[in-house]
Amino acid sequence: MTNHNNTSINLDLDLLRTFVAVADLNTFAAAAVAVCRTQSAVSQQMQRLEQIVDRELFARHGRNKLLTEHGIQLLGYARKILRFNDEACASLKYSNEQGKLIVGATEDTSESLLPFVLNRITALYPSLEVEVRINTTETILSLLDQQEIDVALTTQGDTRFEQQVLRTSPTLWFCAADFAITAGEAIPLVIQNEGELFREIAINALDEHQVPWRLAYVANSKAAINVAVKSGLGATARPAEMLNPELRVLGTAEGLPLLSDTQYLLCRLPMGEKAFVQSLFNVLAPAPDTVHRLAEIPSSETDTDESN
């Protein structure tokens, strides 16, 4: 028996993919290239989607297509729908994949990103045997180069490897809850050994803004950094995930400069021996909105369609 009071509608996945492409790239022309369709076909798809949801999703702003309030509302759901669809298909496709995957993780990713990645791997590839190795960035990248691990999670990229950004996070200045900076004195820094990413970020930012600093403590691990900072020896630059009740964040009010974001990367050798690693590398690619907190999209593409 048909329920004539049922007002549910079914959203077409192809329409949603095109919708997300337009939202990410700002123009129908750029989206058409991304989804391998003509610009007129993209325009017709978006008109069809607006008819289905009975809401206006786009507003023209110069050459760009900007989302309306309803468009922004739908975008979040569209990303989730497409992600669940793709994960379901990937899970069925790779559920019988056999083999051993060795994941290398740096200290900076072991607590913040590694659990999420392992959860997705085991969900999509339940038959894989997974081994995890955690070490310094230098060691993890060396192991990847020697093919002793299959993929690496790191905050420091390397041109030897194929890599993709899984997440970005603010890099902040941290100190102990009761730590105070004395006006006019050099900033006491708690940092790791030479060549470590956050050491370079901190020192370069302070030098660029001509903020005096001194070495208060040089550590050989993330754990040692945490202990030194909690002990009140000085300030350090680390990703936002380091924040805990024993620490507080310093900023421009204390005379410290803003820092560049931390990128969490997934790396692999382009010519690795295990065939399933490439598919896994692609499947783990995040949705665009989960990678960048703020994204500036160039608007130089020409969009000649005026119908929507």
Q: What are phi and psi of 263, to 5 degrees?
A: -105, 130
Q: Which amino acid is at 88?
A: A
The answer to whether residue 292 scores a pLDDT higher than 70 is: no
In this prediction, residue 103 has a pLDDT band, given cuts at 50, 70 and 90, of very high
Distances (CA, A) of 180 to 233, 237, 238, 244, 296: 10, 16, 18, 17, 37
Is pLDDT of 59 > 90?
A: no
Q: Residue 305 has what pLDDT?
A: 45
Domains and CATH numbers, the chain: 13-93 (1.10.10.10), 95-169+262-290 (3.40.190.10), 171-254 (3.40.190.10)
- Nearest Cα residue to 136 out of 194, 55, 56: 194
Residue 217 scores a pLDDT above 60:
yes
Q: How far is CA 194 from CA 134, 197, 286, in A?
A: 20, 9, 32
Q: What pLDDT score does 266 carry?
A: 94
> CA-CA distance, 78 to 16, in Å (whole number)?
6
What is the distance between the alpha carbons of residues 308 and 305, in angstroms, rounded to a whole number?
7
Q: Mean of the pLDDT values across residues 197-213?
A: 95
Q: What is the reported pLDDT for 299?
A: 33
pLDDT at 86 over 80: no
* Position 55 pLDDT exceeds 80: yes
Asked whether the predicted pLDDT for residue 104 surpasses 50, the reply is: yes
Average pLDDT over residues 282-303: 47
Residues 36-49, mean pLDDT to the nearest whole number: 92
Q: Is the pTM of this model over 0.85?
A: no
pLDDT of 118-166, one tens digit each? 988 888 888 888 999 999 898 999 999 999 999 999 999 888 999 999 8
Short-list 251, 230, 255, CA closest to 170 = 251
**Arithmetic mean of pLDDT over the chain:** 84
In which band, very low, low, confident or very high, does the pLDDT at 207 lie, cut at 50, 70 and 90?
A: very high
Place of tokens 């993929």: 151
Which pair of structure tokens corresponds to residue 287? 């949705």
Res. 303 pLDDT band, cuts 50 70 90: very low
Does the structure show a pLDDT above 90 at 9? no
Residue 46: Cβ within 10 Å count: 23
Q: How confident is the model at residue 181 (pLDDT cuts 50, 70, 90)?
A: confident
Within 95-217, where are the H helices? 107-110, 114-124, 137-145, 197-208
Instruction: Name 184's Cβ contacts closer than 8 Å, sequence gap at least 6.
Output: none
**Nearest partner of 139 among 112, 110, 104, judged by Cα:** 104
Segment holding 64, helix H or strand E: strand 64-67
